[in-house]
Amino acid sequence: MTEPIIIAEQISKSYGRKQAIDHLSLTIEKGSVTGILGGNGAGKSTFFRMITGLVRPDSGRLTVLGEEPGWRTNSQIAYLPDRARWYGNYTAEQTFDWGSNILPGFEKSEALRLAELMNLPLDLKTEGMSKGQEARLMLILCIARSVPLIVLDEPFSGIDGSSRERIIEALIDAISEKEQTLLISTHEIYEVEGLMDDVVFLKDGAVQLTGNAEKLRTEYGSIYDLSKKMGD
Amino acid sequence: MDERQVGSLSFSIDFSQPLYEQILTQMRSLIARGTIGLGEKIPSVREMAHELKINPNTVMHAYQELERDGLTEKRRGQGTFATTSMMKIKQFKERFALEYAQDFLENMHSLGFNLNEIHTYLTRLSQEKGHRKND
């Protein structure tokens, strides 16, 4: 089952004088859960925007699902951007109807199941939601889709403990039932510690360390502890 | 070290060690010691993954190894159960007992101890352990 779904070869991107991505090379395996870790400004969000074609590399080559990122690949990717927001006057259920019409692979029945699992009231308008409820809604829009690749940028930021637990459970189901490839960037490593198959540490837009989570544990201890060491 | 509960079973998960081996070792022990009885249903992969907050594939790989050990068997549409055969559990325990004993003996022999001396150590240790239990 070693079939790559993302291949980055020496990709670079700069914004003015800031080198956001610096000759980054990396392969993501199909069906894996990969944690993209690193401090602020390490290049995680920029890398995710490149995967979804929102940002093009200045140089190097990026292949996603066998081709260059663009509208064709995006129909097969569910992407949760950092700082995701939703329209205030839609209820959760109306949002799911919107998803059924617009988002390829979106299954409303799955969204309703997830909403129940994650304790999200269907008749609640987004403007009346807590930050945690809105984050759960955004996440459901992603993981209720039968697409091969799910990209989640900081899915836990600003979300309380019980919502986090529900999100983790929903992700566990997504991995086991749909064989989806999952890319997660997060500062909350403890939450996803047991979920990751592979780990990529980014620093200054390049790979600092990467490997199989179980092997890294044998060598360095927990990923959480390792991330602290990497940050120093 | 995290203590976590799956139904009536307790697991301790140490994230600084590989998770697959922890699941496998603890499930083996639960079945070998009879905490999970003969023919009893074991938690589903999903249940384990949810409660332990770990990747379901990790649980699945450990479960596949349990099946190869002869400790569990799948029943179609019903899930996975501990073996109903006392014989299989005995065979499994014997396999490991021999392995562990052999490793132990080799280590002791390599330090130059003879069987008599080794026996003395074992007696002393088990007495100390007995004392501690009585405290």
Mean pLDDT of A113-136: 88
Domain hosting B93: range is 86-128
Q: Are residues B50 and B113 in the same domain?
A: no
pLDDT of residue A130: 86
Question: What percent of chain A has a predicted confidence (pLDDT) above 90?
Answer: 65
* First vs last C-alpha separation in chain A: 35
d(CA A2, CA A160): 36
Strand partners, A206: A203
At B119 the three-state DSSP class reads helix
Q: Does residue A109 sit within a domain?
A: no
- DSSP for B11-69, please give it: EEE-TTS-HHHHHHHHHHHHHHTTSS-TTPBPPPHHHHHHHHT--HHHHHHHHHHHHHH
Report yes or no: B62 and B20 within 8 Å, Cβ to Cβ.
Answer: yes
Which contiguous run of DSSP H or E holds residue B116? helix B115-134
pLDDT of residue A88: 74
Query: Is some CB atom of chain B closer than 8 A to the CB atom of A117?
Result: no
Mean pLDDT of A108-130: 90
3-state secondary structure chain A: CCCEEEEEEEEEEEECCEEEEEEEEEEEECCCEEEEECCCCCCHHHHHHHHCCCCCCCEEEEEECCECCCHHHHCCEEEECCCCCCCCCCEHHHHHHHHHHHCCCECHHHHHHHHHHCCCCCCCEHHHCCHHHHHHHHHHHHHCECCCEEEEECCCCCCCHHHHHHHHHHHHHHHHHHCCEEEEECCCHHHHCCCCCEEEEEECCEEEEEEEHHHHHHHHCCHHHHHHHHHC
Q: Are strands A181-185 and A33-37 parallel, antiparallel or unpaired?
A: parallel
Q: How many domains are contained in chain B?
A: 2
Q: Does residue A124 sit within a domain?
A: no
In 3D, which of A141, A140, A165, A191 has the Cα closest to residue A33? A191
Is residue A100 pLDDT above 90, yes or no?
A: yes
Domain harbouring B36, CATH code: 1.10.10.10
Q: Does residue B135 sit within a domain?
A: no
Is residue A26 pLDDT above 60, yes or no?
A: yes
In 3D, which of A187, A172, A146, A196 has the Cα closest to residue A28? A196
Q: Are residues B74 and B92 in the same domain?
A: no
Q: Are residues B15 and B45 in the same domain?
A: yes
User: Given an 8 Å threshold on Cβ–Cβ distance, is B55 in contact with A221?
Assistant: no
Q: Does residue B56 sit within a domain?
A: yes
d(CA A219, CA A74): 37
Domain harbouring A14, CATH code: 3.40.50.300
In A, which residues are within 8 Å of B55 by CB distance?
A: 33, 172, 175, 194-197
Is residue A28 pLDDT above 90, yes or no?
A: yes
In B, which residues are within 8 Å of A169 by CB distance?
A: 50
Please state which of the ranges A60-64, A69-73, A165-169 shows the lowest mean pLDDT: A165-169
User: Given an 8 Å threshold on Cβ–Cβ distance, is A193 in contact with B49?
Assistant: no
Q: Does residue A98 sit within a domain?
A: no
User: Given an 8 Å threshold on Cβ–Cβ distance, is A194 in contact with B52?
Assistant: yes
pLDDT of residue B47: 94
User: Given an 8 Å threshold on Cβ–Cβ distance, is B54 in contact with A221?
Assistant: no
Q: Show which of residues 172-211 on chain A sit within 8 Å of chain B, judged by CB atoms.
A: 172-173, 175-176, 191, 193-197
- DSSP for B68-88, please give it: HHTSEEEETTTEEEE-S-HHH
Q: Are residues B78 and B90 in the same domain?
A: no
Chain B residues bordering chain A (beta-carbon distance below 8 Å): 13, 15-20, 45-46, 49-50, 52-58, 60
Q: Does residue A142 sit within a domain?
A: no
Q: Does residue A184 sit within a domain?
A: yes
pLDDT of residue A188: 84
Report yes or no: B74 and B68 within 8 Å, Cβ to Cβ.
Answer: no
Mean pLDDT of A150-156: 92
In B, which residues are within 8 Å of A221 by CB distance?
A: 16
Q: Does residue B134 sit within a domain?
A: no
Average pLDDT, chain A: 90
User: Given an 8 Å threshold on Cβ–Cβ distance, is A224 in contact with B15?
Assistant: yes
Q: Which pTM was predicted?
A: 0.86
Q: Does residue A166 sit within a domain?
A: yes
Q: Does residue A130 sit within a domain?
A: no
**Cβ neighbour number for residue A135 with a 10 Å cutoff:** 25
Q: Does residue B133 sit within a domain?
A: no
The pLDDT averaged over each successive group of 10 residues in chain B (135 residues) is 90 95 97 96 95 94 96 94 96 93 95 94 86 56
pLDDT of residue A187: 85
pLDDT of residue A13: 95
pLDDT of residue A83: 67
Q: Are residues B75 and B12 in the same domain?
A: yes
The partner residue sitting opposite B18, judged by closest CB among A195, A196, A218, is: A218
Q: How many domains are contained in chain A?
A: 1
Q: B29 to chain A nearest CA, in Å?
A: 21
Identify the top-confidence range among A56-60, A130-134, A136-140. Answer: A56-60
In 3D, which of A157, A144, A143, A200 has the Cα closest to residue A26? A200
The pair of three-digit structure tokens given for residue A23, joined into one six-digit string: 């000759």
Q: Are residues B15 and B64 in the same domain?
A: yes
Q: Are residues B47 and B73 in the same domain?
A: yes
Q: Are residues B27 and B54 in the same domain?
A: yes
Q: Are residues B36 and B77 in the same domain?
A: yes
Mutate to test the interface with B, among A193, A196, A212 (most CBs of B within 10 A): A193
At B6 the three-state DSSP class reads strand
Task: Among B47, B65, B82, give the residue marking a domain's end.
Answer: B82
> pLDDT, tens digit, for every residue of A183-223?
999 988 888 999 999 999 999 999 999 999 999 999 999 99
Q: Are residues B16 and B76 in the same domain?
A: yes
Mean pLDDT of A152-169: 83
Q: Does residue A132 sit within a domain?
A: no
Query: Is some CB atom of chain B closer than 8 A to the CB atom of A222?
Result: yes
Domain hosting A163: range is 4-83+148-231
Task: Among B44, B59, B82, give the residue marking a domain's end.
Answer: B82
